[in-house]
Structure 1
Amino acid sequence: MFKKTVGVILSAGLVMAPITACSSNSDSASSPAASGAASPASSASTAPSTSSTAGAELQPEKGAVLTLWEDKEAKQWATEVAAAFKAKYNVEVKIEEVPAPDQAGRLTTDGPAGTGGDVVLFPQDKLGDAASAGLLLPNDVFAKDVTARSQKNAIEASTYKGTLYGYPKSVETYALFYNKDLVPNPPKTWDEVIAFAKIFNDEKARKYAIMWEVKTLYYDYAFMAPYGAYVFGGKGTDSNDIGLNNSGAVKGLTFMQSLRSILPPKVADLTFDIKTQLFADGKLAMNIDGPWSIGSFKDKINLGVAPLPDLPEGKKSVSFSGVRSYYVNTYTKYPKAARLLANFLTSKENQLSCYQKTGILPANQEVANDSAVKADALSSAFLTQFASSEIMPSIPAMASVWAPMEGAVTSIWDTNADVKSTLDSAAKTIKEQITSGKK
């Protein structure tokens, strides 16, 4: 359902594009009338209270018609929810299929032009740019209800500079996929992985015990964070404090570098497509991947999913995780109706139906604890790993991190480069890019 989401999120070019757009449109976003564009809705005039009572009393604007931008995987579900919303509020909702990672970028132009979705959906790493550009209305009517029903990490991920903007829909992280026919019992430690690899690996036949996208910080972070590494200080909010070259980062990547002994290919041969094919063909026993790939394997192999193996010294792997939330477009003509829709989409009933129809992992904590979800071993494994995850920073400076770290990790893996000096160089580049972007 989220196939290649990570590739989209982590591609430097795709990440930078919407950020540049946000920057270039920030002026027009604050004064759309100058160009004849749509005027932003007034948050103060339409949302006087954050109480549940205010939410219950909120009524849609007369004649409101909304557009919802939704991912392909959930379009059919959203269509059914839209029909239920119309039955309740007499507001028509049109569904437009737009990939979630692309929506924030499109909103920078379509929002001020008056052609954007009234309610949109995107991952939390886009939130900082969208909020800074004035593209989103705060979640100020249903904040208490949404906070109470959502997982804590999901609320934090949907909040920027102390303001809750999002209505969390789904959570995602990565875990250990394994072929039950090759690995009846998933390893609990990396020592077990290494021992298995020595028996299973056959490089000439392209058979490997385990793979992940080595060049990508998104996955490598699981080796670093347990030892004290971090991207930015202040829980991901202080871009002046970079923790990707501290002693914990060095220790974690030094261990990862040692795994070249059981995974000899260079990073160019450790891509999403290559490992997906090898795993589907039964030549890869274990694959670190996310819920977006379940559909690629469920009918091809005897699939199992487990939390990531523990690192040396008994350290629990801390995966990066993401949250997709609905947001209300500042430029909507119907801010009351749009708020009602965003809240309606993320109710317990609708999140449960979304999970049942799509397999998308819910951000709603009641749904996550529902017996139907817990009974699914694959979903339960991801939710267990999510509990040991860390939300990716959502500040705009995050865009400056991916490419320098990809270059650093490639050198560390492919050429056995010195970990400390390579990470120092990457951190310096990240800092320079952040500083340059602030000018």
Structure 2
Amino acid sequence: MKILKRVTAVLLTAVVAVSFTACGGRSEHAKKLNIDTAVSINIWYQDDAYTSYLDYIAQQFHKANEFITVNPVKVEENNLLDAVYNGSIAQNNVADVYLMEASDMQRAYLMGLTAENDAYTQYYSQKHFPVTAVNAACYEGKLYGYPVTFHTAVMVYNKKYTTAPENFEQIEAFLNSYQVTDENKDVNMIVGWDTQDLWTNYAFGGSYVDNGGAQGEDAESDVQTEALKAAMTEYAALQNTFGIVDKTQEEYKQMFINNQLIYTILDSTQLADLNACGVDYGICAVPGAKTGFGTQSLSDTTLAMVNPYSENTDTAKAVAQAISYDYADLLEKDTGYISARTDVADKNKKVLYQPLYEVYAQSDSYAKYIGADEFYVRYSILLHNIWKGEDLNESVDAFIKAVSR
């Protein structure tokens, strides 16, 4: 197993600690725990975007608790849960805390890698997190995870030229009345998005399919056949109505940043790039293709999890809670990802992100049961076939047959 270790030094000089905080204006929330013997907590993660964030938490924890050393460990193994399990069984390389997607919850639970989140339950309510985040952290009615970040798909629009649309009929009306002026001369496309990506297209039929049941734990799916066929009919028509061309999400994002595109659909992980470039944009739910058609985006949530094999589960729970809650105001700045906690954004971001959190709260969470990926592969094939112009009834019927259990 290849592991890249990033161990925070046990001894940090006062000068370094003070200058790091003063220069960055960063939060100092580390809990003072009643620990009087040496404790080491390993945090395992795979996404390098979390490195600076976890390093800072490690530094702050040691600053507040001289006997605690927190070690962020970037794991190069393809399957994090297998690595956590193997290290735990060997008992010589234990991950005390690890980051995973909520969609892996059942597998983690069945592998015995989920300690219950029972020390900080008061923080994990809709006062601080959307219901989607809390549900994502649960399994079989118990809270295990600590929600950290999330991603879902939203429409973004250039506020210089337009407002949030309720449906694509309003975008069509905007297109039909559009006139080129000196102010909008850089615009060369009204609307476009990556039509090959599951996440940016899921919403068009998302209201009419369900995978995993209410909590995403049941290995079953439900499809409203006629409603889905009607929604897919309108979805397919968008291609000709707007002349949408094949481009990647990155290409459409750059067009939007350059004021060449007025509306697009992006994964929320891409919003950091919009913020960095200074474009004046708004966020809304992916609109229905036509009046009367609902949409529902897909979402997944990154969780901090505590390993019951840890020799210091109480301290590990404090660290997991810090990753999820105490330092959440630093998450977007350090990682580029948006915190699952709703009450930490500054005044401007709070207004900007309110529609995003509403989309997340009403989203369809990626199912947690083992084997759920098959449903999403089949649904992605359905969307692809519909967009290519293949027979709609045959495509939907084939999808339903493939996902029926």
Cα deviation, 1:70-115, whole Å, max 9, x if unaligned, reads: 5433322322222222233431011224599964464354444453
The 1:310–1:399 alpha-carbon spacing in structure 2 relative to 1, beyond 3 Å, is closer
Between the aligned partners of 1:175 and 1:83, the Cα distance in structure 2 is: 35
The 3-state SS of whatever aligns with 1:286 is strand
Please tell me the root mean square deviation across aligned C-alpha atoms, in Å.
Answer: 3.5
> Structure 1 residue 293: deviation in Å?
1.1
Between the aligned partners of 1:115 and 1:423, the Cα distance in structure 2 is: 48
Task: Map 1:196-345 onto structure 2 (within 5 A).
Answer: 196-198=174-176, 207-226=188-207, 228-240=208-220, 242-244=221-223, 246-264=225-243, 269-300=246-277, 302-308=279-285, 310-311=287-288, 312-345=290-323
Residue aligning to 1:80? 56
> Structure 1 residue 301: deviation in Å?
6.1
Between the aligned partners of 1:405 and 1:178, the Cα distance in structure 2 is: 27
Residue aligning to 1:34? none
Residue aligning to 2:146? 167
The 3-state SS of whatever aligns with 1:67 is strand
For 1:383, give the aligned amino acid.
Answer: Y
For 2:56, give the aligned amino acid.
Answer: E
> Structure 1 residue 356: deviation in Å?
5.6
Residue aligning to 1:381? 355
Identity %: 18
> Structure 1 residue 342: deviation in Å?
0.8
Residue aligning to 1:118? 96
Residue aligning to 1:427? 400
Residue aligning to 1:68? 43
> Structure 1 residue 320: deviation in Å?
1.8
Between the aligned partners of 2:258 and 2:86, the Cα distance in structure 1 is: 43
Q: Out of 275-284 and 252-261, give the one that drifted further.
A: 275-284
For 1:287, give the aligned amino acid.
Answer: T
Cα deviation, 1:343-387, whole Å, max 9, x if unaligned, reads: 23233x42224356556433334x25x6x2565443333223223
The 1:58–1:132 alpha-carbon spacing in structure 2 relative to 1, beyond 3 Å, is farther
Unaligned stretches of 5+ in structure 1?
1-55
Q: Which is richer in helix? A: 1
The 1:215–1:355 alpha-carbon spacing in structure 2 relative to 1, beyond 3 Å, is closer
For 1:81, give the aligned amino acid.
Answer: I
Q: Is the 8 A contact 2:165 2:171 kept in 1?
A: yes
The 1:378–1:335 alpha-carbon spacing in structure 2 relative to 1, beyond 3 Å, is same
For 1:210, give the aligned amino acid.
Answer: V
Residue aligning to 1:18? none
Structure 1 position 410 matched with structure 2 position 391: no
Residue aligning to 1:48? none
Q: Is the 8 A contact 2:152 2:199 kept in 1?
A: no
So what's the TM-score if we normalise by structure 2?
A: 0.77
Cα deviation, 1:187-222, whole Å, max 9, x if unaligned, reads: 2321112233456799xx994322333234433332
Between the aligned partners of 2:129 and 2:298, the Cα distance in structure 1 is: 19
> Structure 1 residue 298: deviation in Å?
3.4
Aligned pairs, number: 365
The 3-state SS of whatever aligns with 1:326 is strand
Task: Map 1:3-152 onto structure 2 (within 5 A).
Answer: 62-70=37-45, 71-89=47-65, 90-97=67-74, 103-104=80-81, 106-113=83-90, 114-115=92-93, 117-147=95-125, 149-152=128-131
The 1:310–1:286 alpha-carbon spacing in structure 2 relative to 1, beyond 3 Å, is closer
Structure 1 position 363 matched with structure 2 position 344: no
> Structure 1 residue 133: deviation in Å?
2.1
Cα deviation, 1:378-435, whole Å, max 9, x if unaligned, reads: 3333223223323222222321112222222211111x2233321221232234xxx7
